[in-house]
Structure 1
């Protein structure tokens, strides 16, 4: 079997290529808030460094600015409401110029998600993050992430992703749309818990976020490796 590695993965940027795309980037204070997706939680994949996407992006930014300050308050299981209540004050006090905000995945585990409340709370998180003056980033949830006990799971994800896209557009956030990304079809994408992307997926998310940030800088070009 021809297994991909980080070096051969067509969706992954090498550290040098990623740093090249972000050469001249102004960001020196990177904060990540939210849940396990924001934290970069995932099990190891053979052939890929055992790092989550957020730590990967921080490492790339340190190649540009070795004095980068990095704060990651994300916690496994955090809902949007918990993020708002327990993490936003620390994020604001940190004084970031680049902030990754969550997309509310854990809110979907409620038997009957209240999407009006989710939108209201997530909007407040975006507003507080934007109020720092920072560039915002976020993800949509991938379609490979399925919770069988909820037959309407993909409908839930589509509804949440729509909220995330609208808020990202409103705040000029860099949006990495994982819902339709080809990586969803990989059989080894998910960790054994069938929820979190393994480190192969984490590597792809990091590369896609770097490409998105490069578009902000006007340095992105469609290359891989």
Structure 2
């Protein structure tokens, strides 16, 4: 693998790093963790993260892709379209067409592009209703990656992410350990030596803990799912008024959660 001396991350909450908490309102996330790995190998490495929670693919294409083109990094990661796919009435084919156009623009800059499929979310209540749409979108992503010479992280195939401990309390965003495992997987597909094995299974879960989690389904729906649905019905986003956390290419200092 040729040296990667600069990296720009594009996307939504997944790439912003929710819910891999640092202090205050700051999040780390898989992209920051990957950048730390790259920085440890390349003196002078620089990193920007333009991802903002709640962004739809049209917003990512119009707001973030032009910034990435201007920054002209060696590596761009792009995970987009998930928020669109989860919306009622959305068309995976139309979302994929926007992703395809964005990838072509990024590849035209000479950047290596890292793409991601969607998660297998059938184990999450309500989300399983859009399971088939995610599957269709993933087929498009595989095709886009192959046609454009992109590197692909297949999140759907990461069985370890089906464990509830890979997810945070809201069941919509990864836990810190989920982000850690994806950073390891992304490093692996980029050809970097693995410091740890992302496949390492979680220890067996105490049946009492699992039973308690099932009793918490109603509380989860009330605290997280209903507000999420209401925002979409009202045309609002959790990212309204939120700016990218790393808008310019800059050196990386390792954050410790």
* TM-score, length basis structure 2: 0.69
1:185 and 1:164 map into 2 onto residues whose CA distance is 21
Q: What is the CA distance between 1:103 and its match in structure 2? A: 3.7
- 1:30 match: secondary structure: strand
Identify which of 102, 121, 140 aligns with 2:79. 102
Distance 1:182 1:101 in 2: 22
**Alpha-carbon distance between aligned partners in 2 of 1:146 and 1:134, rounded to the nearest angstrom:** 36
Structure 2 residue aligned with 1:37: 14
Matches within 5 A, 1:165-180: 165-180=142-157
Q: Deviations along 1:91-142, whole A, 9 cap, x unmatched?
A: 0110111000114101113211122321211111111111110111121122
* Structure of larger gyration radius: 2
Q: In proportion to residue count, which structure has more helix? A: 2
Structure-1-length-normalised TM-score: 0.78
- What does residue 51 of structure 1 align with? 28
Q: CA deviation at 1:162?
A: 1.1
What are the equivalent positions in structure 2 for 1:18-29 lying under 5 Å apart?
Answer: 25-29=2-6
Q: Which residue of 1 aligns with 2:106?
A: 129
Per the alignment, residue 251 of structure 2 pairs with none
Q: How many equivalent pairs are there?
A: 194
Are the counterparts in 1 of residues 20 and 28 from structure 2 also a CA contact under 8 Å? no
1:103 and 1:160 in contact (8 A); partners too: no
State the match for 2:250 in structure 1.
none
Q: Distance in 2 between matches of 1:161 and 1:36?
A: 19
Please list every run of 5 or more consecutive structure 2 residues that lacks an aligned counterpart in the other structure.
Answer: 199-257
1: CA distance, partners of 2:36 / 2:110: 22
The equivalent position to 2:170 in structure 1, one of 171, 193, 200, is: 193
Q: 1:148-187 residue pairs with structure 2 within 5 A?
A: 148-149=125-126, 152-187=129-164
Structure 1 distance, partners of 2:64, 2:197, is 35
- Structure 1 unaligned segments of length 5 or more: list them: 1-23
Q: Whole-Å Cα distance in 2 between the matches of residues 146 and 187 of structure 1?
A: 9
> Quick check: 1:213 aligned with 2:196?
no
Q: Please report how far the alpha carbon of residue 77 of structure 1 lies from its aligned counterpart in structure 2 after TM superposition.
A: 0.6
